Amino acid sequence: MVEPIFDYQFRLILIGDSTVGKSSLLKFFTDGKFAELSDPTVGVDFFARLMEMKDGTQIKLQLWDTAGQERFRSITKSYYRNSVGVLLVYDITNYASFEHIPLWMMEAQRHIEPHRPVFALVGCKLDLVNAGGRREVTTEEAQSFANQNGLHFVETSARNGVNVEEAFRMVTQEVYTRIRSGEYKVEDGWDGIKTGFARPNSLDFNLVMAEPEKSSCC
Amino acid sequence: MSTKIDAKNISNTASEKNDWNQNDDDDWDDWGDAEENFEDTPDSNFLEDNVAKGNINAENNNSLQATKKTVEEPTQDFNKNKEKVTEVRKTENIITATTQKPTSGWGGLFGGVVSSVLSTASEGIGNITSTMSQGLNQVIGVPDPEELARMQAAETAKLHSELKVDDNHVEQKVLKDNQQHRVQEQQEGTPSFGLNIVSGVTTLGTKVLNTGLDTLEGIGKKTMHILQENDPLLMNKRKLLGLEQEKPNLSEVLKEAKKDADHLENALKEMKLEKSREMLRFDLLFENNCGLVHLEALEILSKESVLKLQKLQDAVSGNALKELQETITEVKELMELEDLEGESDGDYDVGELNTRLISAIEDAELQINFDDIISNWRQALEWFKSAPVNGTHDTVQETFAKSITLLAEACALQINKLHKIAELLLVKEHHSTANEVDCIVQLCKQFTMHLNGLTNRFAATLTGIQLDAQTETDDIIKTRISTLFAEMLVAIQQIEKAFHLFLPILQIGAV
């Protein structure tokens, strides 16, 4: 359960071919668990987690896990617009999923315009490669694609949790930095960034606030 | 030659520096010099500054002209040149002097801050000391009044002799009988000690002493007064003091401290409880279960469908448009035909609920199951099995917490399901709109009925709780139940909202 106390809410979206591991990545990130089997996502699913920035700012991440299946493509596009961060997810052991990344990126850019989201390139299933499996996408190739397009890049494993936290942290940190620099703002009619509930400042404040509440419900 | 150029450069920079408005722009870089000018008033400073500035201007101009001259006249005059250099140095000196000046603003600012800090601090200390002296009054027993009197007398004598010496030293011609008179007075117990005589000479010290003693005397008198109330001879108090000296008082203090700590702890506990109670709100729990975001996503799909419908209507004309509009209206009428509200006592098991939900949706031909909603209901039924029959205030609170949590979860799962159904309808190839509309209506009806049933079952459990202590507890149950029903209405509203969002989605399937 996410505490209702946070300073900002960022909406991040995960896109990429089906079965690359978007849902598993999110499952590990929010639950710390890896599911051996999982049903293909229908439309979109949601996850949430709180993340603390270096300066103590609490960020609630609302994570939109889109279906990779072709048949849902028409509706998942509708969900792009209100995102401030996009994780482009591919499978390290599946070259086709990496080949489609530029298409996914263009789609996202087109739908999120005029907003300019933070993009990150995330390779999944690193554990399969480390266990002697066949790697189809080299780190160098992915890294150079990321450099060319100004993307953050990381290779992860949802099975053992390698770099999962980092993948989300680098996007969140970048969004937060852009808020601090004034590049991003909270806007009406756009849900990419929202401000959270105010944090009570002091003990006294809490006690004062508690009084009327008590009398009304006891 | 190089010296000349240097000199020119320096003088140039100097004059440049000088052109800045020093009063405004240079304030900030004088931080380190603030102490030097701490007591300067800003006005005098400003004046000084202006004067200094004028000087520099004059001097600088001179030096500039002079350097120019030297450049024009290639014949070297070292002495002159040297003069110029010194002149420039002078200007620099003056500049540094002026830059140091306009700083009392900072000083003033600091002074203000410091004094305010000090005053706050001393206020705090004042509070502490007063508390402490109160504590001391409770702790330290008052000495025997006789002894007190004796001590006082001794002190008075001592003080007086001191004063006498003082007087002799300073005022040689004071009348002796006058002094004697005062001594008499004091020995009789007058507490003023005749300090007035010397007040002209030893001002501060005596003043402090005087007030201090006066206060002490005041306290002493007051204490005696209180002690002698109902006990003129102080017999009881003396007994008390004699038997139990400082020991019981110390424990009393400890008790007091513990009481304070307990009080604070209770306040903190109360706060935590308050917080957890605040968490027990439908809207928060609904959001935490992703109900709100599913509703939002459904809204996105709904809006998108409205846009598509609009585009379609714009694209066609004549009979085609008429037909299109007829279909759209038809769907709308179908949707509005039935009322969503339904009552239920919640008296059904998981299998029954599952059958009802499945049969409601089956004509829409979607691959959908209700496992999560069923599991939520199973949890509720398990809870009812071991539902508390009697208990305390906490039991009521616990039951209420369970009910609101399960209600919010059930509602969030239902919204989730409706969102999924909308997505599946939108990607479906072939539509049978009449069936689809009927399915959505039936399902939403089942959903609201289930929310109603769940709430009724919990309300029944709450009503059934026999409380141990019958003090104002009936009210607690009543308020909890009415809160629960209010939250149920909010939950049903969410389902209704979702239902209305379905309209364009079903319409776009029909056309």
| Residue pointed to by tokens 């002079």 | B66
Specify which of B53-57, B65-69, B500-504 reaches the highest per-range mean pLDDT. B500-504
A-to-B residue pairs, Cβ atoms closer than 8 angstroms? 55
CB contact under 8 A, A48 and B290: yes
Query: Residue B321: its pLDDT value, please?
Result: 92
Check: CB of residue B407 under 8 Å from CB of residue B484: yes
Token pair of B201, please? Answer: 């000479």
Instruction: For residue B391, give the H/E element and its range.
Output: strand B390-391
Residue B163 has pLDDT above 50, yes or no: yes
State the angle between helix axes of B350-361 and B371-385 in degrees (0 to 180), rounded to the nearest 10.
Answer: 160
- Exposure on the CB side of residue A8, measured as CA atoms within 13 A: 24
pLDDT band at B431 (very low <50, low <70, confident <90, very high): confident
Q: What are the backbone dihedrals phi and psi of residue B391, each rounded to the nearest 5 degrees, phi first?
A: 175, -160
Mean pLDDT of B135-142: 49
Tokens at residue A40, please? 């293909």
Strands (E), A53-171: 58-66, 85-91, 118-124, 152-155
Residues of B in contact with A75 (CB under 8 A): 301, 423, 426-427
Cα three-residue angle B276-A27-B427, rounded to 5 degrees = 105
In a 3-state reduction of DSSP, which class is residue B264?
helix
Q: What pLDDT does residue B152 have?
A: 72
Round to the nearest angstrom and report the end-to-end CA distance of chain B. Answer: 94
Q: Tokens 């007063």 label which residue?
A: B130
CB burial class (10 A; 0-12, 13-18, 19+) of residue B350? Answer: middle
pLDDT > 90: what percent of chain B?
A: 30
The topology (CATH level 3) of A8-195 is Rossmann fold (3.40.50)
Q: How confident is the model at residue A167 (pLDDT cuts 50, 70, 90)?
A: very high
Q: What ipTM was estimated for this complex?
A: 0.86
The residue type of B493 is: Q
Q: Which residues of A touch B479 (CB under 8 A)?
A: 217-218
What are A's interface residues with B at a Cβ cutoff of 8 A? 1-2, 4, 42-44, 46, 48, 62, 71-72, 74-75, 78-79, 81-82, 191, 203, 206-207, 210, 213-214, 217-218
Residue B368 has pLDDT above 60, yes or no: yes
Integer Cα distance of A144 and B188 in angstroms: 103
- Comparing B480 with B467, which gets the higher pLDDT? B480
| pLDDT score at B43 | 47
Range B235-250 average pLDDT: 63
Amino acid letter, residue A133: G
Q: How far apart are CA B134 and CA B157, in angstroms?
A: 30
A63 Cβ partners below 8 Å, 6+ apart? A12, A13, A14, A26, A29, A30, A46, A47, A48, A49
Distances (CA, A) of B482 to B302, B447, B459, B461, B489: 34, 21, 9, 14, 11
Which of A1, A2, A75 is the closest to B423 by Cβ?
A: A75
User: Which string of DSSP letters, residue by residue, matches B422-456?
Assistant: HHHHHH-SS--HHHHHHHHHHHHHHHHHHHHHHHH
Mean pLDDT of A17-41: 94
Residue type, B259: K
Q: Are strands A193-195 and A8-15 parallel, antiparallel or unpaired?
A: antiparallel
Asked if B313 and B325 touch (Cβ cutoff 8 Å), the reply is: yes
Contacts of B424 in chain A (CB under 8 A): 42-43
CB contact at 8 A, B462 and B484:
yes
| CA–CA separation, B193 and B175 (whole Å) | 17
Amino acid (1-letter code) at residue A213: E
Residue indicated by tokens 């306040």: B267
Nearest to A85 by CA among A58, A101, A62: A62
pLDDT for the residue B45? 47
Q: Which chain A residues are closer than 8 Å to B308 by Cβ?
A: none
Q: How many angstroms separate the CA atoms of B420 and A89, rounded?
A: 23
pLDDT at B274: 73
B281/B411 Cα distance (integer angstroms): 13
Quick one: pLDDT at residue B442? 93
Is pLDDT of B162 > 80?
A: no
**B318 Cα to chain A: minimum distance (Å):** 29
CB B511 within 8 A of CB B309: yes
Q: CA triplet B379, B380, B382: central angle to 5 degrees?
A: 65
- CA separation, residue B490 to residues A117, B411, B484, B485, B496 (Å): 35, 10, 10, 9, 10
| DSSP secondary structure of B15-37 | HHHHHS-HHHHTGGGGGGGTTTT
A188: left (phi over 0), alpha (psi -120 to 50) or beta: beta
In this complex, do B279 and A4 lie within 8 Å of one another by their Cβ atoms? yes
* CB B421, CB B361: distance < 8 Å: yes
Beta strand segments in A58-197, E: 58-66, 85-91, 118-124, 152-155, 193-195
**For residues B377 and B407, what is the distance between their CA atoms, to the nearest angstrom?**
10
CB–CB of A110/A154 below 8 Å? no
Q: Where are the beta strands (DSSP E) in chain A?
A: 8-15, 44-52, 58-66, 85-91, 118-124, 152-155, 193-195
Domain ranges of chain A: 8-195
Asked if B404 contacts B285 with a C-beta cutoff of 8 angstroms, the reply is: yes
Quick one: pLDDT at residue A181? 94
Q: Is B423 on the interface with A (CB under 8 A)?
A: yes
- Give yes or no for residue A200 having a pLDDT over 80: no
- Dist. CA B199–CA A204, nearest whole Å: 49
Which neighbouring-strand residues pair with A194? Answer: A9
Which DSSP category does B40 fall into?
-
Q: Which residue shows structure tokens 């398990």?
A: B382
Q: Do B274 and A79 touch (CB under 8 A)?
A: no
d(CA A138, CA A98): 10
Considering only the beta carbons, identify the residue of B288, B420, B427 that sits closest to A71.
B427
Name the helix (H) or strand (E) containing A26: helix A22-31
For residue A193, list its beta bridge partners.
Answer: A10
Note the pLDDT of residue B339: 79
Backbone angles phi, psi at B143, to 5 degrees: -65, 165
> Which pLDDT does position A133 carry in this prediction?
81
In the block, residue with structure tokens 């591919």? A90
Peptide bond into A114 cis (omega under 30): yes
Instruction: Choose the weakest-confidence range: A50-54, B64-68, B320-324.
Output: B64-68
* B72-82 mean pLDDT: 48
* pLDDT tens per residue, range A123-155: 999 999 988 888 999 999 999 999 999 999 999
Residue B254 pLDDT class (50, 70, 90 cuts): confident
pLDDT tens across B200-222, in order? 556 767 777 778 888 888 988 88
Q: What is the pLDDT of residue B230?
A: 74
**Distance (Å, rounded) from C-alpha B79 to C-alpha B82?**
5
Residue B97: is its pLDDT beyond 60?
no
Q: Is B292 on the interface with A (CB under 8 A)?
A: no
Sorted by sequence, the CB contacts under 8 Å of residue B54 that are 6+ apart come out as none
pLDDT over 70 (residue A98): yes
Assign B190 to helix, strand or coil.
coil
Nearest to B423 among A43, A81, A218 (CB): A43
Q: Return d(Cα B68, Cα B425) in angstroms, integer.
A: 90
pLDDT at A35 over 80: yes
Rounded mean pLDDT of chain A? Answer: 88
Chain centroid to Cα A41, Å, comes to 16
Structure token digits, residue B217: 């005397």
Tell me whether residues B427 and A210 touch, CB distance under 8 A: no
